[in-house]
Amino acid sequence: MTEAPYALYYWPSIPGRGEWVRLTFHLGGIAYADVARDEGAQAIMPFLKGERPGARPFAPPFVVRGEEVLWQTANICDVLARRHGLVSGTDAPRADQLLMTVMDLAAEAHDTHHPIATGLYFEDQQEAAEEAATAFRQERIPKFLDFFESHLEAGGGTLLGHELSHADVGLWHAHQGLLHAFPIAMASMVDRWPRIRALDEAVRAHEALAAYLASDERMPFNSDGIFRHYPALDAEVTSTGTS
Ligand SMILES: N[C@@H](CCC(=O)N[C@@H](CS)C(=O)NCC(=O)O)C(=O)O
């Protein structure tokens, strides 16, 4: 990577939605600066207040290049992937809709620990969270992952049927998040999604991604952000609703 024409802005203390953008940058060998990790979260605020040139983004992550401001995670990844040759032709919209579905899964995973309001503490909504997490573990994880497994099967191991795209890497990251947040539930369904598990090998075998994953830049999941492990929200899945 040489100069950094793209500037990523995302909360520096969590991998969060910024991670899907980082993975797309690394998959595409696209240079970027991770501004808020270098300069602090205050670097984000002028954009959110509309004090910087370009369209005002609603929320991080956003990516700035000159006066272009891209936001909405899936949109950012899709624009980068098209522009830098990760997808083309009819593959591009196919990847878009798959990645948007990954982001739906991520939003639902977040809502298990904050089912009432993001602004409330987990402890203040724990009862509702336990109910939401039970349904998520039993109904939604299987429905989403069965769906992606079927696309991987149709594609012979990748979602689009050729080399890794940002949609594959996005799915991989969401799966990693589920393994972190719901280790007991995921272990109880370990044999159900062999192709999603195989994606892990493909991602780790990708030279640029492997280098990124081994670096300090790759932030581990933690107790904030989308994928959090609360023991009270995790349990073995013994019966699942199927799609
Ligand atoms: N749909 C948006 C969601 C963006 C979002 O919720 N960003 C979070 C951090 S992951 C945030 O800072 N939200 C502030 C807010 O919604 O007020 C996306 O995919 O980028």
Distance CA 37, CA 12 (A): 5
**pLDDT-above-70 percentage for the chain:** 98
* Mean pLDDT for the stretch of residues 1-23: 89
* Mean pLDDT for the stretch of residues 23-35: 97
Which SS3 state, helix, strand or coil, does residue 3 take? coil
Ligand 1 pocket, residues with Cβ under 6 angstroms: 16-17, 59-61, 72-73, 103
Burial class of residue 231, CB neighbours in 10 A (0-12, 13-18, 19+): exposed
pLDDT for 188-227, tens place per residue?
Answer: 999 999 999 999 999 999 999 999 999 999 999 999 999 9
Selection from 141, 167, 128, 102 nearest residue 236 by Cα = 141
Does residue 243 have a pLDDT over 60? no
Measured over the CA atoms of residue 75, residue 100, residue 196 and residue 219, the dihedral's sign is positive
Give the DSSP H or E segment for 211.
Answer: helix 207-213
Q: What's the whole-model pTM score?
A: 0.96
Does residue 57 have a pLDDT over 60? yes
Residue from 14, 17, 62 whose mutation best tests the ligand 1 pocket (most atoms within 8 A of CB): 17
What amino acid occupies position 101?
T
pLDDT band at 53 (very low <50, low <70, confident <90, very high): confident
Between vectors from CA 74 to CA 71 and to CA 76, what angle results, nearest 5°? Answer: 45
* Mean pLDDT for the stretch of residues 52-57: 92
Among protein residues, the one with the nearest Cα to ligand 1's atom 13 is 59
Does residue 241 have a pLDDT over 90? no
Query: What's the mean pLDDT when you consider all of the chain?
Result: 96
